[in-house]
Structure 1
Amino acid sequence: MTHRIGLMLLLLCVAGAAVAVEALPAVQPEGRYIDDDLAATYLPTPPGDRARFRRAINASIQKNPRNVSALSHRAYLFMEGGDLKRARRDFDAALAASEPGGPHERHVLWSRGWASYDQDDYAATFADWQRAIALHGGEPYWAAYSLALLYWTTGQSDLAMQWFSTAAAADRKWRTADGVADQIKRWAPPQRERMQALFAAWERR
């Protein structure tokens, strides 16, 4: 019996270690984060017409292999489908086709950051988003709520609260449950669930 309990405890410890998330560097908000950023845009997949959407993207890339937006969107679709090799290939091609420091490079970094987030690679997400923010040169509106979600996901709740408060100060939609629901209605289910949990915690605090 003692042996069995010891084995169970060992398995629980191993499982806990497997799901542990490494803390990200602590970056605090320094500004209002209300600046526009056209690089932070995407084309939502039409409901029930994913195959046609993918064909349209493929056609755009076939016509222009250096179409940064199309490459980024296809990379994200590959990442969603679990084809990490092709996703990385397209993201790399998109970066290679982007003017260094320009809006296209920022778009790829922003998009790849979200793709990495969905794959639980939070360090990669942090690196890409920090680079995109730096290249923007200002205080892009998406930084506050995105970093709030990222820090919340890694368990760094104090930083998550700081960034979420910054997002709420910049945009009143982040201050109410209905507003948050509207802001995240096109997000992936895990992203929505985590942001709603963050909002609930922020509202209680």
Structure 2
Amino acid sequence: MSVAGQFLAGVLLVSGAATAWAAPALPAPQEFYFDSDAAAAPITVVQGEGEDLVAQLLKHRERGRKGLEATAQLASVAIAQGRAELGDKLYREALAEAPVQSALGRSVRWNYGWDLLRQGQALAALEQWQAAAGSLRSNPGWVPPSYALALWRAGQQQEAVKWYAAAV
């Protein structure tokens, strides 16, 4: 293959990869988003900070009482401490145990979305939020501002403005 052919193949490969990172297909914004969703709240099993908080969350996981919630909170703590790989692993564990149709499953996805957004992974956050919202038959009020923020940070301002308008 010639140098020009290799260059063209590389450009096509890169442009295909860029397309793969586009925002997931979202529904059109609705006119009203007034419904509440109890799942859209930080998962907090134990209050505290530092090593004491981690130790208490590990105890909850070992005992099996609120183990899923403790795993999700521990994942968020790990990400906040700069241990993103551990946080992602813990979130994957929690996601595997929490069906998206359940309130707890939506809550894990909602929380993971915010942690992903704080890490600069706007499109991954959007995917988590879309999964959480997709299992609802209502229009929860958290959807438009969350989608708008993620889209804006992902560089998709035109789509973000539509969601900001729905939020207002």
Match of 1:40 in 2: 40
Alignment of 1:24 with 2:23, yes or no, is yes
Distance 2:97 2:155 in 1: 36
Q: Is there any run of 5+ residues in structure 1 with no aligned partner, and where? A: 1-19, 169-205
Equivalent residue letter for 1:124: A
Judging changes above 3 Å, is the alpha-carbon distance between structure 1 residues 51 and 124 closer, same or farther for their aligned structure 2 residues? same
How large is the RMSD of aligned CA atoms in angstroms?
A: 2.6
Q: Is there any run of 5+ residues in structure 2 with no aligned partner, and where? A: 1-17
Match of 2:60 in 1: 60
Judging changes above 3 Å, is the alpha-carbon distance between structure 1 residues 150 and 58 closer, same or farther for their aligned structure 2 residues? same
Aligned partners of 1:29 and 1:144 also within 8 Å: yes
Distance 2:67 2:43 in 1: 14
After TM superposition, the score normalised by the length of structure 2 is 0.74
Aligned partners of 2:43 and 2:111 also within 8 Å: no
Distance 2:43 2:92 in 1: 20
Match of 1:86 in 2: 86
Match of 1:73 in 2: 73
Aligned partners of 1:31 and 1:139 also within 8 Å: no
After TM superposition, the score normalised by the length of structure 1 is 0.62
Deviation of residue 118 (structure 1)? 1.9
Distance 1:116 1:86 in 2: 13
Deviation of residue 25 (structure 1)? 4.2
Distance 1:148 1:140 in 2: 14
Aligned partners of 1:116 and 1:122 also within 8 Å: yes
Give 1:46-195 correspondences, 5 Å limit: 49-64=49-64, 67-168=67-168
Q: Cα deviations across residues 79-117 of structure 1 (Å, max 9, x unaligned)?
A: 222323321221122123224521111111111111221
Equivalent residue letter for 1:129: W
Identity %: 25
Equivalent residue letter for 1:24: A
Count, aligned residues: 147
